[in-house]
Amino acid sequence: MSGSEPTSPARSNIPRHVAVIMDGNGRWARKRSLPRHAGHRSGVKSVREVVENSARYGVEYLTLFAFSSENWRRPEEEVGMLMSLFLEALRREVADLHKNNVRLRFIGERECLDSKLNEKISNAEALTADNTGLRLQVAVAYGGRWDIVEAARSVASKVVSGEISPESIDEATFAAELQLGGAPDPDLLIRTGGEQRISNFLLWNLAYAELWFTDVLWPDFGQAEFEAALAYYSERQRRYGHTGEQLEAVKC
């Protein structure tokens, strides 16, 4: 990884976990009279950059929304092209990610993916499993509601088998069954492309995330935008239901 040393914001208030809805590839292409796939292709460069910037700033977890459960509704040609692009990106990037100590993990409904892609995903996860740097989590064929239903199913089967009792189920035991089980909740959600919605991303895990939206389209998202999001985050007072005065009192 290359690039300049961080100058701002201060390292003291860096989010531990950043989640990103990478939106706007299609519009980026349309603005240039290019086919949508040109936008997706150009978006890969921004993925590389956000990974580098996250590592540079000491973010521990980065979760990227690459393809939603609902994106299967897109024209077959676009879906096929996106799947080929994921495969190509894995082929091209995994060695470098490994060299940079990145630990890669995929979340989503793998059964829906083609066997070649699944094999690449499993190999990439196995190769990088012991890495201790940035934890990069890529959501493919992922939906927040699907994730919650799967977790509920898993908890229910543990109850049926007698492993746990219904009374013992609490937020922590439930969260452990989710796709991101074990990872801290995202502190900061970034969405590019101008829309201010969650689009069925990490519905449970984003409960207390700080939200940062930008009109910048994903292929144009670079270090300056990432730093702007970090700067926004560093100014937030995270109250989790407390009053601001309570938090000020703790500081003194």
The gap from C-alpha 246 to its chain's centroid, in whole angstroms, comes to 32
Q: Which helix (H) or strand (E) holds 190?
A: strand 188-191
Q: Is residue 71 flagged as an active site residue?
A: yes
Verify binding: residue 23, ligand IPE, rule CB under 6 A.
Answer: yes
Kindly report the backbone phi and psi dihedral angles of residue 134, in degrees, each rounded to the nearest multiple of 5, phi listed first: -55, 135
Among 66, 97, 190, 216, binds ligand IPE (CB under 6 A): 66
Report the partner that residue 100 touches, choosing among ligand IPE, Mg ion, none (CB closer than 5 to 8 A by kind).
none
Q: Give the nearer residue to Mg ion in terms of CB position, either 16 or 30.
A: 30
Among 42, 54, 63, 68, binds ligand IPE (CB under 6 A): 68
| Smallest separation (angstroms) from ligand IPE to the CB of 22 | 5
Q: Give the nearer residue to Mg ion in terms of CB position, either 82 or 183.
A: 82
Spatial distance between the Cα atoms of 47 and 218, rounded to a whole number of angstroms: 9
Spatial distance between the Cα atoms of 14 and 26, rounded to a whole number of angstroms: 31
Verify binding: residue 108, ligand IPE, rule CB under 6 A.
Answer: no
Verify binding: residue 193, ligand IPE, rule CB under 6 A.
Answer: yes
Dig out the tokens for 112 from the structure. 């829906």
Verify binding: residue 67, ligand IPE, rule CB under 6 A.
Answer: yes
- Cβ distance 204 to 145 under 8 Å? no
Q: Give the nearer residue to ligand IPE in terms of CB position, either 78 or 100.
A: 78
Among 82, 107, 124, 209, binds ligand IPE (CB under 6 A): 82
Kindly report the backbone phi and psi dihedral angles of residue 160, in degrees, each rounded to the nearest multiple of 5, phi listed first: -60, -40
Considering only the stretches 51-59, 66-74, 117-125, 144-152, report the one whose residues sit in contact with ligand IPE under the rule CB under 6 A: 66-74
Among 21, 121, 124, 183, binds ligand IPE (CB under 6 A): 21
Q: Is residue 23 flagged as an active site residue?
A: yes
Q: Quick one: CA torsion of 139, 104, 184, 224, rounded to 10 degrees?
A: -80
For the chain, the maximum distance between any two Cα atoms, rounded to a whole number of angstroms, is: 59
The gap between the terminal CA atoms of the chain, to the nearest Å, is 40
Residues 6 or more apart from 9 whose CB is under 8 A from it?
Answer: 227, 230, 231, 234
Q: Give the nearer residue to Mg ion in terms of CB position, either 23 or 52.
A: 23
| Residue 229 DSSP code | H
Considering only the stretches 54-62, 128-136, 151-159, 191-199, report the one whose residues sit in contact with ligand IPE under the rule CB under 6 A: 191-199
When CB distances to ligand IPE are compared, the closest residue is 26
The residues pairing with 135 across neighbouring beta strands, listed in sequence order, are 61, 103
The residues that touch ligand IPE, with contacts defined as CB under 6 A, are 21-27, 65-68, 71, 82, 193, 195, 197, 199
Residues belonging to the active site: 23, 71
